[in-house]
Amino acid sequence: MKLCIAEKPSVAKDIAEIIGAKTRRDGYYEGNGYAVTWTFGHLCTLKEPHDYKESWKFWRLEDLPIIPPNFGIKVIKDNGVQKQFTTIENLVAQCEEVINCGDAGQEGELIQRWVLLKAKCKVPIKRLWISSLTEEAIREGFDKLKDSTQYDNLYAAGSARAIGDWMLGINATRLFTVKFGRGQSTLSIGRVQTPTLALIVQRQKEIDAFRGEDYWELKTNYRETEFLCQIDRLKTAEKAEKGLEYLKDKEFEVTSFEQKEGKEGNPRLYDLTSLQVESNKKYGYSADETLRHIQSLYEKKIVTYPRVDTTYLSEDLHPKVPGILRQMTYYSRLTESLLTQPIPKLKSVFDDKKVTDHHAIIPTGIVPSGITPDEQKIYDLVARRFIAVFYPECKVSNTTVMGKVGDLQFKATGKQIIEQGWREVYADMKAKKEAEEDKIMPAFTEGEKGPHEPFIHQGKTTPPKYYTEATLLRAMETAGKQVEDEEMRELMKDNGIGRPSTRANIIETLFKRKYIEKKRKNIIATPTGIALIDTIQNELLKSAELTGLWERKLRLIEKGEYQPDVFKQELYQMVRELTDEVIFNTSAQSFNIEAAPAQTAPKRERKPAEKVNLEELDCPKCKSAKIMKGKSAVGCSDFNVCGFKIPFELLGKKLTEAQLIQLITKGKTNQIKGFVIPGSSEPKNGKLILDATWNVGLE
C-alpha cells in the first residue's frame, strides 16, 4: 500500500477520487493500492520549555536564556488532532511508501515532515509538487513524483525558522515581561512581529512630532489650464497678495510647448503581496482577508498556488497560455484580440531564473462557479492582470508648457493616453480621478499671449502618511525602505521581513495583541505598542533591515547555500547577548513601571570585559585552528587546508586590530568611513561583513 498525506481533508478527497481510493474509512480513503489521509494545519509543534525541564515552566530571569540541548517535537494536545495523528501513525506503520501531498511550500513541508518524524516513518518518501489542484495538475504531478530528499533544504529552512522564532520569542518575551512587565501583561516579542511594530511606531512618532506650516502659492488659469508659479512657496499671505497684484495687469505669454511620446510598461503578474496590496487599495480588504479569499479560490481549483513571492511564470507554461485564455469565456471581449496571433514569450513574464518552487498567481482556466462576491472580486483582479500582461504597451504623451507673466515663470504639465494598450483591460473599472487625469491639454504655440486669471492657493504642509495595510505590506517586503520601482522591489524580496504567506498573520497578531489599531484604512500604533517599542532598547530586536538579512539567510538555506547550524548558532549567540544586555544594562523607561524587584534579579555577576588578543581567536571558518598574522593579512593558522584570510587593507582602508577582531568574532564591523569603490567618484561608508562563503563583503 502507498500512503498519500494531504494538507487538508478537501484536498485528500480530490486526490483520492483521481487515484481511485474511493472507499471512505475513519480518517482516510482507501482503494486501488492507496490510502489517502490528511493533516489539518500543524498536528505537531516544537516542545515547550517545561517539556525539557520542569523548572522552565516558571518565568525567571536566572533561567534565561533557555536553550534546549536538542529541539524536539510533540503532538498538539487536542483530541481531534491526536486522533488524526494516531490514524496517520498506524497507516505509516503499514505502508510500503509515503507520498507527501502537503502544501507545496516551506510551511507545508515542515508540517508533513514533523508528522512523519513523529510517526517514526522508515519507508521511502516521495513528494507531490504541484501549482494547482486541477485534475490535470494532480495527474501530471503523480506522473512526475519527486524524491523527498530534493526538498531537504526546504525542510531545513522551515525547521531553522521555527527554531529561530521559538528561541527569540520564548526568551525575549520572558525577558522583557519579567524585567519590565511587573505582572501587568505579557510583553510579546517576535523575530518578525517586533520589527514590523517598530516600523509603525516610528511612523507614528514622525506624525505626532510633525508641526504643519501654512504656505501660499501663486497660480493662474490660462486657456482652461492651471499653471503654477516657479518660485519657492511663500511663507506669508502678505507676500502672496503682493505677487497677485503684480500679476493682475500683465498678459500671460507661452515661452515653450513640449510634447514627448512615451510608454507605460505593462503591470506584472501578481505575487501574494502585490495582490494583497492591490485588493487593499481597491476594495479595502485586509491582508488576511485577501489571503483567505485567494486560498479558497485555489482550493476550488480556479487559480494557481497563491503563497508565492515571484511575479514570473516558468518558460514551460508559455504553450499553455492560449488554452487558459480561451477557457476564460467571461473575458472573451478582452482575450479575443490576443488569440488572433501567437502569444509573445516576453522576458518580463516568462523567466525560469526568477521562478523557484512556484510561479506567479494566474487563473487555471476553470470557469468560476459557486464563489462568493468577495472571491469574485479577487478572481477578477487575477484574471485581468493575467490578460493585461500580454496586451501591447500603453502609449502616452507627456506635455510640458512653460509660460511667464512679467518676470515670473509658470509651468503646467499633463499626460494624455495616445493608445490604451493594456489599459483597455481596465477601461470599465477606471475611477473618476483617473478619467480626469486623461483629459487632454490644449495645444499651445510658443510666443502666444493672452489674458489669464491669477489666484492664490493656500495650503498647509502635510505630515508623513499613516501606514495602510497596503503600504505596510510593501514596507515589510522591502525591510522598511521606500521603493517604488518594480525591478528594485523584485531584487529586495530576499531581504523582506517575513514571508508572503506569513505577513498577513503577523499584522493580525499585532491587532489581536492591541499593539496597533485601524482607523478607516490607517494603521495606528496604540499607547501599548509605542510603550513596548520604547522599552526595547536593543536595536537587533527592532531592526527591519537586520530581520530582512535573517530572512535572506533562510532563503539561502532553502537553496543549500547556507548551513542551518550556522544560522541557529548565530541566533543562540544573539539571544545570549540580548539576555545579558537587558538583565545587566537596561533600566525600564516605559509602561510606567520600575525595574523588576530585587528577588527576580539574577544571582550571577557580570564579569569585567577582558581584552581580546587577535591571535588568541579561533578561526571562524574551520573552528579547529587559531588566527595568525601574516605580512599582508590575518588568516587561519591551518591556511593550506582551511583557506580563511582577511587582508589588512580593503578598498583603500587599513583595518585596525579592533575592526579585524569585530569581523572575525561577530561577522561584521561597526561603520567605517572612506572606502574607495572602483568606478565611484566619492568615498563610501559602510560595514565589512563575512558572507556565507567566508569572504569579506561591504554592506
Active site (catalytic) residues: 305
What DSSP line would sit under 30-77, residue for residue? EETTEEEEE--S-SEEEPPHHHH-GGGGS--GGG-S---SS--EEE-S
- How far apart CA 451 and CA 251 sit, in angstroms, is 5
Exposed, middle or buried: residue 176 (CB in 10 Å: 0-12, 13-18, 19+)?
buried
Put residue 587 in one of left, alpha, beta given phi > 0 → left and psi -120 to 50 → alpha: beta
Nine-digit cell at 296? Answer: 479558497
- How far apart CA 312 and CA 238 sit, in angstroms, is 57
Beta-carbon contacts of residue 465 (< 8 Å; ≥ 6 apart): 471
Residue 266 CA from chain centroid, whole number: 23
CB 54 within 8 A of CB 111: no
What DSSP line would sit under 223-243, residue for residue? TTEEEEE-SPPBS-HHHHHHH
Angle at 652 between CA 651 and CA 653, to 5 degrees: 95
DSSP state of 270: B
Instruction: Give alpha helix (H) positions in 313-411.
Output: 321-327, 332-335, 373-388
Nine-digit cell at 492? Answer: 529586495
Put residue 73 in one of left, alpha, beta given phi > 0 → left and psi -120 to 50 → alpha: beta
| Residue that the C-alpha cell 550556522 belongs to | 566
Strand (E) or helix (H) holding 469: helix 469-477
Q: Is 80 helix (H, G, I), strand (E, B) or coil?
A: helix
Put residue 401 in one of left, alpha, beta given phi > 0 → left and psi -120 to 50 → alpha: beta
Radius of gyration of the chain (CA): 30
- How far apart CA 271 and CA 313 sit, in angstroms, is 11
Q: Is 370 helix (H, G, I), strand (E, B) or coil?
A: coil
Q: How many CB atoms lie within 10 A of CB 441?
A: 19
Put residue 27 in one of left, alpha, beta given phi > 0 → left and psi -120 to 50 → alpha: left
Put residue 447 in one of left, alpha, beta given phi > 0 → left and psi -120 to 50 → alpha: left
Amino acid (1-letter code) at residue 439: K
| Residue that the C-alpha cell 505669454 belongs to | 253
**Residue 372 CA: distances (Å) to CA of 8, 290, 378:** 21, 13, 10
Q: Is 152 helix (H, G, I), strand (E, B) or coil?
A: helix
- How far apart CA 339 and CA 336 sit, in angstroms, is 5
Strand (E) or helix (H) holding 6: strand 2-6
Q: Is 476 helix (H, G, I), strand (E, B) or coil?
A: helix
CB 536 within 8 A of CB 542: yes
**Residue 143 CA: distances (Å) to CA of 7, 123, 130, 136:** 20, 20, 11, 11
Nine-digit cell at 648? Answer: 589588512
DSSP state of 519: E
